[in-house]
């Protein structure tokens, strides 16, 4: 998938495209339907399939005091979109200047003038432009004169609830892995870059990979059974999310630490996708180092038993 990043300038001109437009945070089942329609439509018409998305999230700019962390990083979002067969992803650097643009200008100058849109696919709750005045009605009206079609996809429901990014953020924060999996259509996952830590895990006999802090919504503190993938390789393991209260105290920043079963290689600097399969236990304070080591040994034994009996 080709990536085009726009920061105040127009993108290279695309000859013709079918474009799905939206933030697509989480790339959940509803987003997947929107993007799939764009990919299928582009193939039928013999043009490029494109996703037009925004970063940072518009809410973080327009309603900073109310903004909650995203479900996934931009890189994770783009990789997930690429797996859906998208040809081109156009990432617009969202800021107040862009948000003040008239919706008509965005359509004529950007979507038609630079992307050559033949069809636009949007979700039910999509609005754009100054004052959020850009609507499906406006798009359809402009499409009649400028030569493009518009399709709006209804919100998908699961167990009577709308599948929306806001709902998924709440499910993640509550630790409802089953609910998140139903709404996403895949296990909850975190894509992060491994960085050097304080090597405490190595001193305990269980070396861990530490992830760079990312502004995404976090699962509750605890130990999780996970599957980790990088460079075409996939291994089972455990992931700790918490503040390391035994050593750091309750006010320390939250960290994510990955322990891989039967692997002792170096993955510093690698981007690793961690899929969360099941919560093993809550975080807790241990009386001493030896008690913690004994608990980790039990955690690892439980993990081996789980992966030996499970197919995921």
Report pLDDT for 203. 61
Q: What are the pLDDT digits (tens) for 288-302?
A: 888 889 999 999 999
Looking at the predicted structure, is the pLDDT value of residue 312 above 60? Answer: no
Q: What are the pLDDT digits (tens) for 148-183?
A: 999 999 999 998 999 999 999 999 999 999 999 999
From 5-19, 139-153, 193-207, the region with the lowest mean pLDDT: 193-207
Report pLDDT for 11. 67
Q: Where in the chain is the domain with CATH 3.40.50.620?
A: 2-161
Report pLDDT for 288. 84
Q: Which CATH architecture has domain 2-161?
A: 3-Layer(aba) Sandwich (3.40)
Report pLDDT for 9. 66
Report pLDDT for 10. 65
pLDDT grade for 48, boundaries at 50, 70 and 90: very high
Among the CATH numbers 3.30.465.10, 2.40.30.30, 3.30.428.10, 2.40.50.140, which is that of 188-309?
2.40.30.30
CA-CA distance, 269 to 271, in Å (whole number)?
7
Q: What are the pLDDT digits (tens) for 219-235?
A: 999 999 999 999 999 99
Q: What is the pTM of this model?
A: 0.92
Looking at the predicted structure, is the pLDDT value of residue 199 above 60? Answer: no
Share of the chain above pLDDT 70, in %: 94
pLDDT grade for 129, boundaries at 50, 70 and 90: confident
Burial 245-260 (b: 16+ CB within 10 A, else e): ebeeeeeeeebbbbbb
251/8: higher pLDDT: 251
Q: Which residues pair with 211 in a beta bridge?
A: 194
Report pLDDT for 310. 75
Q: What are the pLDDT digits (tens) for 52-93?
A: 999 998 888 887 656 679 999 999 999 999 999 999 999 999
Looking at the predicted structure, is the pLDDT value of residue 278 above 60? Answer: yes
Report pLDDT for 8. 66
End-to-end Cα separation, the chain, in angstroms: 27
CA 185 from centroid of its chain's CA atoms? 13
265/231: higher pLDDT: 231
219: left (phi over 0), alpha (psi -120 to 50) or beta: beta
- Given a contact cutoff of 8 angstroms between Cβ atoms, the answer to whether 55 and 210 are in contact is no
CA-CA distance, 304 to 214, in Å (whole number)?
29
Q: Where in the chain is the domain with CATH 2.40.30.30?
A: 188-309
According to the 3-state scheme, what is the secondary structure of the chain?
CEEEEECCCCCCCCCCEEEEECCCCCCCHHHHHHHHHHHHHHHHHCCEEEEEEEECCHHHHHCCCCCCCECCCHHHHHHHHHCCCCCEEEEEECCHHHHCCCHHHHHHHHHHCCCCEEEEEEECCCCECHHHCECHHHHHHHHHHHCCEEEEECCCEECCEECCHHHHHHHHHHCCHHHHHHHHCCCCEEEEEEECCCCHHHHCCCCCEEECCCCECCCCCEEEEEEEEECCEEEEEEEEEECCCCCCCCCCCCEEEEEECCCCCCCCCCEEEEEEEEEEECCCCCCCHHHHHHHHHHHHHHHHHHHHHCCC
Pairing of β 271-281 and β 189-195: antiparallel
């Amino acid at each position: 998938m080709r990536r085009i990043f726009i920061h105040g300038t127009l993108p290279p001109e695309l000859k013709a495209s079918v474009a799905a437009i939206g933030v697509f945070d989480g790339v959940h089942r509803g987003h997947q339907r929107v993007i799939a329609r764009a990919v299928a439509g582009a193939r039928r018409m013999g043009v490029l399939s494109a996703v037009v998305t925004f970063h940072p999230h518009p809410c973080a700019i327009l309603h900073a005091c109310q903004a909650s962390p995203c479900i996934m990083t931009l890189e994770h979002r783009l990789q997930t979109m690429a797996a859906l067969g998208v040809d081109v992803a156009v990432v617009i650097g969202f800021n107040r200047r862009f948000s003040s643009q008239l919706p008509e200008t965005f359509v004529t100058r950007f979507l038609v003038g630079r992307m050559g849109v033949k069809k636009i696919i949007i979700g039910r709750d999509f609005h754009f432009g100054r004052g959020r005045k850009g609507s499906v009605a406006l798009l359809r009206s402009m499409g009649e004169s400028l030569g493009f079609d518009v399709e709006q996809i209804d919100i998908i429901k699961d167990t009577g609830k709308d599948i929306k990014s806001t709902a998924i953020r709440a499910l993640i924060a509550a630790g409802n892995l089953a609910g998140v999996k139903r709404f996403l259509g895949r296990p909850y996952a975190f894509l992060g870059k491994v960085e050097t830590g304080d090597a405490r895990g190595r001193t305990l006999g269980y070396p861990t990979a530490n992830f760079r802090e990312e502004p995404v919504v976090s699962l509750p503190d605890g130990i999780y059974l996970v599957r980790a993938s990088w460079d075409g390789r996939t291994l089972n393991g455990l992931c700790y999310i918490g503040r390391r209260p035994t050593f750091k105290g309750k006010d320390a920043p939250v960290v994510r630490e990955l322990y891989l079963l039967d692997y002792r290689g170096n993955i510093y600097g690698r981007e690793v996708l961690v899929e969360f399969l099941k919560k093993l236990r809550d975080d807790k304070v241990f009386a001493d180092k030896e008690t913690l080591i004994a608990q980790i040994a039990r955690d690892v034994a439980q993990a081996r038993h789980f992966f030996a009996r499970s197919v995921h």
